[in-house]
Chain A
Amino acid sequence: MSAPVSETATAALHEPDAPVEQPRGGRTPWWANQRIGLLILVVALGALFGILRPAFFNQQLVVFPLLRDIAMFTVVGLAQMCVLSIGHMNLAVGRMAAFSMMITGISYDLWHFSLYAGLLVGLIAGTAIGALAGWVIARTGVNSFVVTLALDFLLLGLIPLVYTGLTDNAAFVTKPEGMREMRNYSLADICIGNVCGSPAVPQLALFAVIAMVVVGWIYSRTKLGRELLMTGTSVKAAELSGIPTARRVITAHAMSGCLAALAGFMLAVSTGSIKATIGEEFMLPSFLGPILGGTLLAGGFISVWGTMLGTALTSVIRKGLDLLGVGLESLNIYLGLILLVALSTDRVRTVLSDRQGVRER
C-alpha cells in the first residue's frame, strides 16, 4: 500500500453519509427528547410490571440481577458506541471480550495474578486487539464491517484452540481472591459509619458508572472526543481541519476493545468463570442500546445516557416478561413488539414536536 494513511483512512471512512441531525437546542420541546422519552418509558414499564407482579421490586432476586445486567450491557453498548461515533461498527465486540478474558484467565491460572492485575491485563489486551482492528482499517482502507467480521472469525478459531490446549474444562476456573465477593456484593456492603448503601445495587455496577463517566467526559469535554465526532460526521472536513483521522480511527477501535474487555470481565464475574463462550451474546445488545438511545449509526453523534437507557429498556422488558411467565415462543415476539411500539412512540413525539415547531415559526 503506497497510499498515505490519511488517504486510505478517508476511503475506509467513506461509509454512507450521516443523515442530518435534527437541530438540537431551544426549538425542541423537552418531551420530544429521545432520552427523556426512554427514561419515562423505562420508569413506566417498571411501574407497570411492578403492579402486575409485585415481585418485580424484590431487591435481592430481581432488582439486583437486573441492575447487574443493565450495567454489563451498558458497557457492551458503550464499546459499540465508540466505533459508531466515527461511523464504523465493531462486529467482533463479543470476541474481543472473549480474547481479553482469555488473557485475563491465563494471568489468573498460570501467572497467579490478583483480581485487579488480571483485569488490567485484560483491558490492555482488549485495547491492543481493538487498536489492531483500527490500524488495519486505517492502513488498508477496508470497511470496518469487513475487517471486524474477519477478526471475529479469526478469534472464533483461535480462542477455543487456546482453551482446549490450556484447560481441562474449556474454562479458566481459578478464582482470584475477591472475585466471588464481587459477584454478590452490593452497596449495602459499603458503609459510612452505620449507614450503608442499597442492597439492590450491585458493586459490579460501579464499573459501568466509571466507564460512563470516562467515556462521557472524553466525548463532551476533551479535544479527542470532538475530533472523534468530527471524524464521524465528515472525514474530509475533519482532515481539512487538521484532525489525524487515521489515528482517531485507531483510538476509537482501541476504546471499543478496552470497553469490550471490561464487559467481558463483568460477565465472567457475574456468571462465575472465564470461558471461551464469553461475549457470544454481546453483538445484538451492543447495537440495541446505543441505537435506541439515539447514537447515530452513521457517526457524528453519540449519547452515553441514551446507551444506558436503551439497554435498561430491553432488560426491563425482558425481566418483566420473565416474571409474567411468558413462554419461550412468545417472549421474543413480545420483546420485539414492545420495542417497536416504544420506537414508534418516539417517532410520533418527534413528528408532533416538528409540527409544533412549524406552527411556531
Chain B
Amino acid sequence: MTVHSLYQKTAVGLALVALAATGCSTKNSNDTAGTSGDDASTGTSTGPVELKDGSKVKLALIPGGAHPYFQPWKTTAELDKTDFKLGGATFNETGEWDQGKQNNVINSLAAQGYNAFGIFGVSPTDINSTFEDLKAKGFAVGSLASCPAGDTNSADFCLSTDVEAAAYKATKATIEAIGGTGTIVHLTGNNVDSNTQRRIAGVKKAIGETGGKVTELPVITDIDKDLQTAQKAVADLLASKGKEIKGIVTTAYNPAVAAADGVASSKLPIKVVAIDDDAKILSGIKSGGVAATVTQNPVGQAYVGGWLLALLGSKQCTMKTPGVIVDSGSFVVTKANVDSYDTERKAKTTELQKDFAAQLSCS
C-alpha cells in the first residue's frame, strides 16, 4: 500500500508540475494570429505571376497516406523548391489514412516552421476543420487532389480532379468500348467516403444517358485497400458473372490493376477501363488488354499548388475568392493517344497556372 500511494502521489505531483510547466495564462494575452487579412494586393495579373521572394515560404505537401498516386508529389516538391526558390519543401506521407494522425503530422510540420500546406485530406467531411485551424494560425492552405465534402471549402483553394466528371468520362469510354449496349460493372474504393459516392454518381449519370441500353450490376466497393483484396473481388466477379459482363469501369487504383490482370488472364472478352497511368495499365493499353484509362494530374496539382501556396504564403498575393475550386483535369487515354497524352496533360498544367493567375490579387 505504501508504494501504491507513493506512486500515486508522485504521479499526481509530476502531473501538477507538468501542468504548471505548460503555464497559466492571462485573459486576452493569447497571441492568436487570426486569419491573415493581408490586403497588400493592388494589381491583377493576367499571365502567370512571378514569385518575388519565396525564401520565407516552407512548403509541405501532405497526402493522406502512402499511395502510388502521390509518388510524383515527392519529386515535384523538390521541383517547387528549386523553381520557386523556397525556404524549404517537404513531402510527408505518414498520415496512415487516419484523419487524427494526419492532423498530428500537419501540426508537427507547422511547429517546425512550415507555413504553406498542400493537403489531401483523409476525410473529406472532416478536413475543413483542419483547414480552419491552419487558416486561423495564418498559414497558406491548399486542398490538393480532393476537395472537402459539401459546398464549402475552407482552404484558400482546391485543386483536384473532379471525381464525378472523371468517373463519368471513364463510363462513357466504357460504353463506347462495348459498342453502346450491354452490362457493365463499377469497381471502386471505400464506400463510406464522399468521393466514392461522387464517383458512383458519375457512373450512374453516364449509364442513365444510354436510356436503358446499358445496365449496371451492383457497384463493388471497398476493394481498394490493397491489391490482394481487389484481385480476390475481381476473381469472384469473373467466376460468377464473367459471361454476363461486357465492360468493367474502375475508379480506384487497386481495382483497376486487378481488373486489367484478371480479365487478361481469364481471356474473357470484357472491356476494362482503368484509372491512372500505372506502368501495368499503360502496357495493358498498348497490348489491347485495357480499353482505356482515365489519368489524373498529380504533377500539375503539386506543381501549380506549390506555386500558388508560395504566392499566398509569401503574402505577395491573396485569392480574390477564397475557397475557389478548380478541376486539375482528367484525360482519357486509349491506344491512339497512349504515347502523347502527357503533352496534353502538361498543356493543362500551364493552363491551370493561367486560370489561377486570374483568380489572384497581387501586390
- Spell out A's residues near B (CB within 8 Å): 24-26, 28-30, 33, 35-36, 39, 43, 53, 55-56, 58-63, 65-66, 69, 160, 163-164, 168-171, 173, 180, 183-184, 188, 191, 194-201, 267, 270-273, 275-277, 280-281, 305, 309, 318-319, 322-323, 325-328, 331
Contacts and interface: CB of A to CB of B under 8 A. Distances in A.
Contacts of B130: 272
A79 to B, nearest CB: 17
B129 A183 contact: yes
Contacts of B2: 25-26
A100 to B, nearest CB: 16
Interface stretch (B16-24, B168-176, B262-270): B16-24
Contacts of B22: 59, 63, 198-201
Given A30-B3, A62-B108, 16 more contacts: A36-B10, A39-B7, A39-B11, A59-B22, A62-B111, A65-B107, A169-B124, A171-B125, A183-B129, A194-B26, A196-B27, A198-B24, A271-B99, A271-B100, A325-B90, A326-B94
B149 A171 contact: yes
A169 B113 CA distance: 34
Interface in B1-33: 1-4, 6-8, 10-11, 14, 18-19, 22-27, 30
Interface of B: 1-4, 6-8, 10-11, 14, 18-19, 22-27, 30, 66, 90, 93-94, 96, 98-101, 103-105, 107-108, 110-113, 123-130, 133, 137, 149-150, 191-194, 196-197
B229 to A, nearest CB: 14
Contact of B192 (A28, A164, A184, A271): A164
B345 to A, nearest CB: 27
16 contacts: A25-B3, A33-B3, A39-B10, A56-B111, A58-B111, A169-B124, A171-B194, A173-B150, A196-B27, A267-B100, A271-B99, A271-B126, A275-B125, A318-B104, A325-B90, A328-B66
A356 to B, nearest CB: 14
Contact of A61 (B26, B99, B108): B108
Listed from nearest, the 7 A-B pairs whose CB atoms lie closest are A272-B129, A169-B194, A171-B125, A170-B192, A200-B22, A272-B126, A55-B111
Given A170-B191, A328-B66, A188 B108 contact: no
Contacts of A323: 108, 111-112
A277 B111 CA distance: 28
A319 B125 contact: no
A153 B183 CA distance: 32
A195 B24 contact: yes
B126 A322 contact: no
A270 B104 contact: no
A272 B102 CA distance: 13
A275 B6 contact: no
Contact of A163 (B10, B24, B108, B192): B192
Contact of A170 (B14, B100, B111, B194): B194
A179 to B, nearest CB: 10
B123 A277 contact: yes
A273 B125 contact: yes
B3 A198 contact: no
B133 A184 contact: yes
A328 B63 CA distance: 12
A69 B1 contact: no
A169 B149 contact: yes
B23 to A, nearest CB: 6
Nearest to A281: B98
Given A25-B1, A271-B100, A188 B25 contact: yes
Contacts of B10: 30, 36, 39
A274 to B, nearest CB: 9
A25 B1 CA distance: 5
A19 to B, nearest CB: 19
Contact of A322 (B11, B93, B94): B94
Highest count of chain A CB atoms <10 Å: which of B1, B96, B104: B104
Given A63-B22, A328-B66, A55 B7 contact: no
Nearest to A64: B107
A62 B3 CA distance: 33
Nearest to B93: A328
B107 A61 contact: yes
Contacts of A66: 104
Contacts of A58: 111
Given A33-B7, A271-B129, A273-B123, A62 B192 contact: no
B151 to A, nearest CB: 11
B194 A201 contact: no
Contacts of B8: 305
Contacts of A69: 100, 104
A341 to B, nearest CB: 21
Highest count of chain A CB atoms <10 Å: which of B7, B127, B133, B191: B7
Contacts of A184: 133
A127 to B, nearest CB: 24
B300 to A, nearest CB: 24
Nearest to B99: A271
Contacts of A33: 3, 6-7
